[in-house]
């Protein structure tokens, strides 16, 4: 879900309201968050475009009864065009269902849902106004006059220790999704990438958002050996685990692989496989085993962790709980 502004992080409608406080965390402006599953669309003010997808459009707006109580939210709506498929509506309903379970400081918070004027579902979450990770680290920035193959690097403010600290928070969020969020089930994000990670307005916290492709797995769904049959080629090819790209059985370690590629990007300040197109990503990464280059001056504990996380052998990948632990050890020098 498009819950983030794009600027770099610098220096179902039911009769009656069904509101409930979901946690005691504070939003960026200090107020508590509440979840309302029957938000009247007319209560959302100052609506501005945020992002445009294939089946959904994302907006930002203000939600609340007065100026002091307003909170900025991101609103995801189904497109009213005929091209919107039933699967888009099901994806949005599934995203809402999953978001209702999630309470973690590094996961975007649900504000509520309702019916748009066109009659379709909309989902509202906190607005991550610090901008996306991809904008922050500049891996997609090419200023006017810069050659296509020349990287634009404005990231001296994002040193390795800060990258590791922020990554440890995201690792904690993924461990929570895999092990704690839903009793008796695992929540897989399935689209971890820098454009689905964004900062809070104070730039202190990096949060995971856009659960449109997320999936909840229960033990009874397994085909054996903790493996599951899932839709292949789900997510973004550059960050996609090989088994997903190859339409093979998978599990939560697909998120571990994707996280490792993002982590490498955060520390290297380079776009992974930047000269590969879809064909090369399939042939050379998913089938051929190519992985990003590890810098010789990186801590051994860190490079060993990356190597395990992006292993083609799912059994060699650590849990996200272990990933968080190892990252914090690297941060403190105990690696």
Annotated active-site positions, please? 191
Q: Which structure tokens are listed for 260?
A: 């490792």
Length of the chain: 335
Q: Rounded to whole angstroms, how far apart are CA atoms 333 and 328?
A: 9
Is residue 88 within a helix (H) or strand (E), and if so which, with residue range?
helix 86-99
Q: Kindly state the DSSP code that residue 318 receives in the 8-state scheme.
A: P
- How many Å is the Cα radius of gyration of the chain? 20
Q: Rounded to whole angstroms, how far apart are CA atoms 211 and 226?
A: 22
Sheet strands (E) in the chain = 19-20, 35-36, 44-52, 56-63, 71-78, 110-115, 121-126, 131-132, 186-188, 197-199, 206-208, 215-217
């Amino acid at each position: 879900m498009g819950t983030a502004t794009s600027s770099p992080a610098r220096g179902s409608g039911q009769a009656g309201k069904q509101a409930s406080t979901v946690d005691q965390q504070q939003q960026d402006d200090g107020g508590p968050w509440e979840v309302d599953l029957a938000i009247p669309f007319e209560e959302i003010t100052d609506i501005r475009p945020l992002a445009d997808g294939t089946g959904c459009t994302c907006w930002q707006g203000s939600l609340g009864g007065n100026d002091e109580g307003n909170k900025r939210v991101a609103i995801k709506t189904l497109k009213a065009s005929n091209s919107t498929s039933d699967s888009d509506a099901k994806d949005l309903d599934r995203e809402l269902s999953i978001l209702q379970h999630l309470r973690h400081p590094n996961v975007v918070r649900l504000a509520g849902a309702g019916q748009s004027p066109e009659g379709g579902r909309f989902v509202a979450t906190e607005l991550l106004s610090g901008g996306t990770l991809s904008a922050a680290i500049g891996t997609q920035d090419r200023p006017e006059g810069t050659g296509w193959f020349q990287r634009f690097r404005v990231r001296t403010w994002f040193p390795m220790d800060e990258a590791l600290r922020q990554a440890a928070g995201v690792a904690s969020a993924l461990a929570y999704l895999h092990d704690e969020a839903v009793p008796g089930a695992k929540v897989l994000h399935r689209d971890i990438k820098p454009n689905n990670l964004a900062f809070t307005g104070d730039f202190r916290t990096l949060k995971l958002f856009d659960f449109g492709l997320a999936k909840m797995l229960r033990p009874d769904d397994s085909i054996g050996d903790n493996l599951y049959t899932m839709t292949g080629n789900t997510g973004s090819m550059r960050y996609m685990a090989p088994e997903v790209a190859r339409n093979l059985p998978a599990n939560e370690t697909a998120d571990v692989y994707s996280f490792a590629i993002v982590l490498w990007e955060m520390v290297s300040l380079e776009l992974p496989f930047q000269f590969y197109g879809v064909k090369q990503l399939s042939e050379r990464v998913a089938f051929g085993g190519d992985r990003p280059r590890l810098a010789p001056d990186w801590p051994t504990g860190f490079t060993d962790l990356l190597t395990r996380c992006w292993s083609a052998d799912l059994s060699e990948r650590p849990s996200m709980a272990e990933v968080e632990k190892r990252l914090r050890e690297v941060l403190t020098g105990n690696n």
